[in-house]
Amino acid sequence: MKDVKPTFQERYIEAGTRLTPSEKKIGEYLLRNPDEVTGSSALQIAGATGTSDASVIRTIKRLGYQGLPELKKEFLESILRRRSSSATLDHNIDSIKTDNRPAEKMLANSVDIIEAFRLGFDHDAFAQCVDALTEARRIFTLGLGPGSMVAGFLAIHLKRVGFDAEALMNAGYRLADDLLSLTRDDCVVLIAPYHQTTEVEAIVDHAKAVGATVVLVSEALGMSLQDRVDIIIKTPPTISNVVSEHLTPFVFSYVLTMQLASKQKDVSVERNKLFNDLSAKFTGSPDFPSPAFFADLEDENPEN
């Protein structure tokens, strides 16, 4: 069995209350920006966190590393693993084999990732995203590989609350057919955790060419695409642990849907009722009854 070292995230969470406020600030930055860290000096990290280079080095050593080079090496190995799904699977299997209760570790990691997402959530970017989708003529969602499930999930739920949404499910040259109808009045939600593929490049470039708005949901591509997209929703890094990179995009998709529904609650409730009525024709009862959220919205406007 391979010797599996604790990841940076595990070290940071374990340190917990032992860290000073400045060390927590540095640790949080390192956790959320592994790609940037690999190309940064201690002085640059200090500038990004409003601390000193000495504090950066002290924090890194306190978390069990000999220095910044060792931390960069771990982050770089994580980045390289992104290029190989088999390497990622191998890493994850080795991680859970060292634990007598592997499911508990995976669930705990999932909770930690969602908590990191909550703590680092960019509310200003989220507000911009909500405005962009509200004003869009049509919303296109795109996720490649397993990410297409997230894109489909988001598009379906947006339709159910009254928005004109479509998931782009094609890849390669077939994606060109989907892009033909994209206009300047549309918005694209691009779910790309860390693979900057040809499809990602093509849709970003075409959206920019026609003037469409692009919302990028990613844990690693924000820096490389920041000048080519309009809004970035940054998710926490997942590659160094056993959590799927699609967990927080799924959570974000549902949060986004609920926020958009609240902007037009009457329309959303009526559309959801229509969906339930239509699904009942096929199943005899609503396939997906209205969530409690919609029941709450209805209660806010009781009939006199």
What length does the chain have? 304
What's the DSSP call for residue 243?
S
Answer whether 216's CB lies under 8 Å from 227's CB. no
Residue 181 neighbours by CB distance under 10 Å: 10
**Residue found by looking up tokens 């009457």 in the block:** 266
Per-residue pLDDT of the chain (304 residues; tens, 9 = 90+): 344 577 787 688 778 778 999 999 999 888 878 878 888 899 999 999 999 999 999 999 999 999 999 998 888 776 655 545 555 555 555 555 555 666 776 777 788 788 888 888 899 999 999 999 999 999 999 998 778 899 999 999 999 999 999 999 888 888 999 899 999 999 999 998 767 788 989 999 999 999 999 999 987 777 678 889 999 998 887 755 556 778 899 999 999 999 999 999 899 889 988 888 888 888 766 555 555 455 555 555 544 4
Instruction: Give the pLDDT confidence score for residue 145 in this predicted structure.
Output: 76
pTM: 0.67
Check residue 14 and give its pLDDT: 77
At the topology level, CATH places domain 1-81 in: Arc Repressor Mutant, subunit A (1.10.10)
Given this model, what pLDDT does residue 304 score? 45
Residue 146 pLDDT: 77
Cα separation of the two ends of the chain: 69
Instruction: Provide the angle, in degrees to the nearest 10, between the axes of the packed helices 85-97 and 68-81.
Output: 120
User: Which pLDDT value is given to residue 2?
Assistant: 40
**Beta pairing, strands 231-234 & 165-168:** unpaired
The string of DSSP letters for 191-216 reads E-SS---HHHHHHHHHHHHHT-EEEE
- With a CB cutoff of 8 Å and minimum separation 6, the contacts of 183 are 137, 210, 211, 212
| Phi and psi at residue 141, to the nearest 5° | -115, 145
Provide the pLDDT for residue 90.
58
Domain boundaries, the chain: 1-81, 123-263, 265-299
Count the helices and strands in the chain (H runs, E runs): 16, 5
Assigned CATH for 123-263: 3.40.50.10490
CA dihedral 215, 221, 222, 228 (to 10 degrees): -60
